[in-house]
Amino acid sequence: MKVSQAVTERHSVRAFTNQAVSEDIIKDILRDAGRSPSGANTQPWHVVVLTGAAKGRLQDRIESAFRNGDRGNMDYPYYPEIWEEPYKARRLACGFQLYDALGIAREDKQRRMDQWVANYRAFDAPVMMIFLIEDVMQTGSYMDYGMFLQSVMLLALEQGLGTCPQAALAEYPDIVRDELSLDDNVRVLCGMALGYEDCDAVVNRYRTPREPVENYVTFRTV
């Protein structure tokens, strides 16, 4: 698979089959992703891979917290406090595409909530990955981590696997730290669902649009 093909074919998968993913494949993906660049070769990534009962315990605790009215408290601000254009419009369009693909009406608050809660189960993928970073690391390491995460997703695609990067799995960092027996100096950056894509699921058929390159690239020669 060409790199260009992998980049264009990668998409967020929100429905998976129940086929297990071998530990060897996961190790291969994460080992190769570890070749991603990082400032001064700091390699700030730490990954916890959850399957089976371990995944079930964590996702049940997070889902229970959400349903009990706890809205979580991320270790860092992911989104802007005030949404401005064009980002506000893109965000709204993204949500509309998801619910439209699933046939969930705007006024159907229960189905919307149920769909959101699926985030906390990693969309029932067989594998949930939690990505951690020590709090001594600064903004540059978050840039490094983005390259690592992209590498993970492209390498997974090469293996015939689907992924969905998930900020939602970092919304309850205290629960994650407690369940995984992590030190307080570890920040929960995000999570990722990993598994074999259910290609028959309607939620996996739509694609979010991308801006034309002319909208975000400027060439200067003099």
Give the list of residues 6+ apart from residue 151 with CB closer than 8 angstroms, or none. Answer: 32, 33, 35, 36
What is the Cα–Cα distance from 114 to 117, expressed in whole angstroms? 5
Of all residues in the chain, the percent with pLDDT exceeding 90 is 98
Q: CA-CA distances (angstroms) from residue 168 to 28, 57, 106, 120?
A: 26, 17, 21, 7
Q: State how many domains the chain has.
A: 1
In this structure, what DSSP letter does residue 12 have?
B
Indicate the pTM of the whole model: 0.95
Burial of 32 (0-12, 13-18, 19+ CB in 10 A): middle
Q: Which pLDDT tens digit goes with each residue over 180-220?
A: 999 999 999 999 999 999 999 999 999 999 999 999 999 99
Q: What is the pLDDT of residues 117-168, one digit of tens each?
A: 999 999 999 999 999 999 999 999 999 999 999 999 999 999 999 999 999 9
222 found inside a domain: no
Q: Are strands 162-166 and 186-195 parallel, antiparallel or unpaired?
A: antiparallel
What confidence tens digit (pLDDT) does each residue in 59-113 have?
999 999 999 999 999 999 999 999 999 999 999 999 999 999 999 998 999 999 9
| β-sheet bridge partners, residue 134 | 186
For residue 35, tell me if it sits in a domain.
Answer: yes
Q: Decide if 112 is inside a domain.
A: yes
Write down the number of H helices and E strands in the chain.
Answer: 7, 4
Whether 220 is in a domain gets the answer no
pLDDT exceeds 90 at position 1: no
| C-alpha of 19 from chain center | 20
- Four-CA torsion 153, 130, 109, 73, nearest 10 degrees: -130
Tokens 């950056």 correspond to what residue? 189
Q: For residue 152, give its domain range.
A: 3-215
Asked if the structure places residue 221 within a domain, the reply is no
Residue 114: give its domain's CATH number.
Answer: 3.40.109.10
Residue 16 domain-assigned? yes
